[in-house]
Amino acid sequence: MRIYDRYSDDKLEELGLSGKLPKHVGIIMDGNGRWAKSRLMPRPVGHRAGMEALHEIVREAHCLGLEALTVYAFSTENWQRPVQEVNALFGLLTEYFAKEIDELDANGVRIIALGDLGPFPEKVKACMTDAIERTASNKGLRFCIAINYGSRAEITRAVRLIARSRIEPEMINEDLISRSLYTGELPELDLIIRTAGEQRLSNFLLWQAAYSEFVFTPVLWPDFTPEEFRKCLIEFMKRTRRFGKVVE
Ligand code: IPE
Ligand code: IPE
Ligand code: MG
């Protein structure tokens, strides 16, 4: 197990990253299946390679000092995949946390789940809740894993929570809705990266993406390295964000 230091200002400058880094980055980790197919391997082989890429990217996000990293690991629509693939994904997820938890915890990473853990097998649920509880008071990178996550389900859940609280309709505002989402405690989503070339959200963080920047890369997720990640951040830093205002 290793402790990884944050990059110094000099190191960030050397990497071309001195300036305003995003606080919160979301990643749609796509392309595991195509990666495996191109090697004539079954899709779960691609998911395993994807887990290895994830390990590197979480470490990089920590070293860069990002406040939050949200990764899309399993959507509410992904239940429609063959049961063998779904089970392989759950197995990998359990394995990932069993293997990584000590190092993540030692580096001050806080693990957060976005999505409904209810329908998962007990073993998956147990390893996730264990990781969440164990790291709950950590103050470093917030590593949010969107599993059984769909933005429409998230918004529906938030509306139900608000309705149950019997609040006066006039008291419902954007801030209350934001706070009722799974991401309620997280900083604004500055950047969404999607790998593997597709240019769509696939039900990821619809509300939160209102003013996010988007970077699409053709690189398949298992081939997405810290260097590719930094290229996306450099691209983000070149953008002018206007938020509807006039910016000279
Ligand atoms: C992303 O890779 C991982 C998950 C959706 C769980 P895919 O499995 O969607 O890979 P492609 O898009 O088929 O290549
Ligand atoms: C989005 O990828 C979901 C995850 C990355 C977990 P998909 O591969 O499921 O999305 P579509 O089907 O191409 O829109
Ligand atoms: Mg896909």
Please say if the pLDDT value at position 235 is more than 90: yes
- Which ligand neighbours the alpha carbon of 202 most closely? 2
Percent of the chain with pLDDT over 90: 99
DSSP state, 118?
T
Token pair, residue 167, equals 């609040």
3-state secondary structure of 148: strand
Q: 137-165, pLDDT tens digit by residue?
A: 999 999 999 999 999 999 999 999 999 99
Q: Is 148 part of the annotated catalytic residue set? A: no
| Ligand 1 atom 3, closest CA | 30
Percent of the chain with pLDDT over 70: 100
Averaged pLDDT, 185-205: 98
Which single residue is written with the structure tokens 């209350």? 176
Is residue 159 in some structural domain?
Answer: no
Q: Give me the number of domains the chain comprises.
A: 1
Q: Is 78 part of the annotated catalytic residue set? A: yes
- Out of 10, 32, 78, 223, which one is annotated catalytic? 78
CA dihedral (154, 159, 162, 168) positive or negative: positive
Please say if the pLDDT value at position 42 is more than 90: yes
d(CA 187, CA 66): 11
- At residue 224, the pLDDT reads 99
Please say if the pLDDT value at position 96 is more than 90: yes
Which single residue is written with the structure tokens 């853990």? 117
Averaged pLDDT, 216-224: 99
The number of the ligand 2 atom at minimal distance from the alpha carbon of 28 is 5
Is residue 106 in some structural domain?
Answer: yes
Please say if the pLDDT value at position 113 is more than 90: yes
Is residue 243 in some structural domain?
Answer: no
- At residue 27, the pLDDT reads 99
Please say if the pLDDT value at position 232 is more than 90: yes
Q: How confident is the model at residue 10 (pLDDT cuts 50, 70, 90)?
A: very high
193 in ligand 2 pocket by Cβ < 6 Å? no
Q: 71-87, pLDDT tens digit by residue?
A: 999 999 999 999 999 99
- At residue 1, the pLDDT reads 80
Is residue 183 in some structural domain?
Answer: no
Strands (E), 59-117: 68-75, 110-114
149 in ligand 2 pocket by Cβ < 6 Å? no
Is residue 40 in some structural domain?
Answer: yes
Strands (E), the chain: 24-28, 68-75, 110-114, 142-149, 191-194, 213-216
Token pair, residue 134, equals 């164990």
Domain that holds residue 131: 21-149+189-236
- What CATH number does the domain containing 227 carry? 3.40.1180.10
Q: 158-192, pLDDT tens digit by residue?
A: 999 999 999 999 999 999 999 999 999 999 999 99
Averaged pLDDT, 12-36: 97
Please say if the pLDDT value at position 248 is more than 90: no
Is residue 62 in some structural domain?
Answer: yes
Residue 209 C-alpha to ligand 2 middle, in angstroms?
Answer: 17
Please say if the pLDDT value at position 17 is more than 90: yes
Q: How confident is the model at residue 102 (pLDDT cuts 50, 70, 90)?
A: very high
Is residue 166 in some structural domain?
Answer: no
